[in-house]
Amino acid sequence: KTTFGQPRRMPLGIDYNKLVLLLAVLEKRCGLAFGTYDVYVNAMGGIKLNEPACDLAVCSALASAYLGKPIDKYTAVFGEVGLTGEVRAVSYCEKRVAECVKMGFKKVLIPAKNMKSVIKYTDKITVVPILYVNTMIKNLFKD
């Protein structure tokens, strides 16, 4: 919780405006009240997260911190997030899933619109199609 009247937003490696937009989507569409919390995001290793496919992964990390529940270390997440909370298709989805298989992930959450391109990997990795951010949260943080 913030100790000041205005909550702090401190992104490193991600655009400030992108962070604010993702927080707004998580508040409005998923009911996660970030308005009274300071938010710190750090992309490790000095990388810059400027590709739209990183949106869903950032949302999953923010939801994990908010809910106090970790994401399974064998789960990967990617997809572009729109203002209404929809998860949009991304380019190179097939290559991304193939790389997840090589790296030893057991589950990957991808945009539902990309599902056709990765059907051949469903015997090697659990592929979960995601239409909306709130569906991703429900899938990752089942009780």
> Strand 75-77 and strand 107-111: pairing?
parallel
Outline where DSSP puts E strands in 19-141.
39-42, 75-77, 80-81, 87-88, 107-111, 126-130
In this prediction the pTM is: 0.94
pLDDT bucket at 143, cuts 50 / 70 / 90: low
The token pair at 64 is: 């994990």
pLDDT digits (tens, 9 = 90+) for 44-93: 988 999 999 999 999 999 999 999 999 999 999 999 999 999 999 999 99
pLDDT digits (tens, 9 = 90+) for 94-127: 999 999 999 999 999 999 999 999 999 999 999 9
Cα separation, 78 vs 76, whole angstroms: 7
CA distances from 84 to 35, 66, 78, 131, 133 (A): 18, 20, 17, 11, 9
Cα separation, 4 vs 36, whole angstroms: 9
